Amino acid sequence: MKIGNLFRKFTGHRHQYAPSFVQQATYLQQAADALCRMTDTMDSSEWKVLEKEVKACEVQGDALLTEFYEQLYEKVITSIRRADLQTIALNIDELLDHINDSAKSILLYMPQRIDPQLRDLAQYIRAEADTIKSIASMLGDLRHNFSQISLGCDRITELEHAADDAYEEYIGYIFTQEKNAIELMKYKNIAETLEAATDAGKTVSDNIRKIILRYVD
């Protein structure tokens, strides 16, 4: 379904902002899956194909965000402040940008290997994206779904903390084990972009948590 048709179908009714978040989260899932596949191969030609997949999701996400802003202030009727809904949409889009940056870093640096720790970080990103997709599907009824949304936010916090630990351990590992200074910087920079993406996922959940606490008694 085209983006415009999606909004024409769902906007204009109370709380019908949720489908746009679900669509954003779908792009997140697709991009995160492609990123994970990039860390599962050392085929540079495959990296190029998968990086294009991630970029396509990022472009579609940008278009969706722009239309969401337009529809939010024209048609969506909601008891939640529009600024709060805009914050969630922007946070999801920023996570998608970070996933795109992570894919580009692999293609840019062309590392000699993809260490298991880098694959683990990509898996954390995908797990966060999956959880955000689950949360997004429940945002249309905050009161009824309060507990499940809270559990989803807790899950993302756990994933981000685990990713922080994995990142710190990996940095220590490469600085003691990698003798090639150029490759060392490649691995460090790729790990940093992956870790930044997990941080962005937690930002999404943190702001969702603030909103449900504000609007649910």
pLDDT digits (tens, 9 = 90+) for 2-29: 444 443 443 334 446 788 999 999 999 9
Mean pLDDT of the chain: 90
106-132 tens-digit pLDDT: 999 999 999 999 999 999 999 999 999
Domain residues for the domain of 88 are 3-215
Q: For the residues 40-64, what does the mean pLDDT come to?
A: 97
* Six token digits for residue 150: 């809270």
Q: How confident is the model at residue 209 (pLDDT cuts 50, 70, 90)?
A: very high
Indicate which CATH number applies to the domain containing 175.
1.20.58.220
Please count the structural domains in the chain.
1
